[in-house]
Amino acid sequence: MPPQRRTDPAAGRTALAAWQADASAPDRATRATAVRYTLEQLAEQAPGHTLEVRVPPYGVTQCLQGPRHTRGTPPNVVETDAETWLALATGTLSWAQARASGAVHASGERADLSDLLPVVPPRGLPSSS
């Protein structure tokens, strides 16, 4: 069963479009909606509970099939800021670039999102969800 969405997809796409138009312009609520929407896209595309992806203070999700984590600090964690996450989620920044620059903290043997990014179609392409 896919994870339940908390963010309205239409509102998420609108917020993401606002961020894509000018990353410095969206207010905190718009940025938060875009982050939550893209985290939910990731969880929908790669369901599971093996990897926790954190984008403080806006959101967190679990994804990837495999061993389920239930208590304490997860063994596989990816954490980054909102701007980096949105750039990764939209394909304007590669996983390798983000890791090399130190913009992403990834720990654990399954903390690699390179095969799952981007989570939304590149700008200008139609979305299926």
Half-sphere exposure of 2 (CA within 13 A, CB side): 10
Q: What is the pLDDT of residue 36?
A: 97
Q: What is the pLDDT of residue 16?
A: 95
125 lies in some domain: no
22 lies in some domain: yes
128 lies in some domain: no
Q: What is the pLDDT of residue 91?
A: 95
Dihedral sign (CA 125, 26, 89, 32): negative
Mean pLDDT per block of 10 residues along the chain (129 residues) reads 78 95 89 97 93 96 81 85 97 96 95 95 54
C-alpha 45/C-alpha 11 separation (Å) is: 19
119 lies in some domain: no
C-alpha 45/C-alpha 53 separation (Å) is: 14
Q: What is the pLDDT of residue 45?
A: 95
Question: Which tokens hold the place of 113?
Answer: 């999102």
1 lies in some domain: no
Q: What is the pLDDT of residue 23?
A: 81
C-alpha 52/C-alpha 78 separation (Å) is: 6
Hunting for tokens 């997860």 — which residue is that? 74
26 lies in some domain: yes
**Residue-number span of the structural domain to which 29 is assigned:** 9-107
C-alpha 125/C-alpha 107 separation (Å) is: 32
Report the CATH number that the domain containing residue 28 is assigned in CATH.
3.30.1050.40
Domain count, the chain: 1
120 lies in some domain: no
74 lies in some domain: yes
C-alpha 77/C-alpha 12 separation (Å) is: 24
- pTM here is 0.88
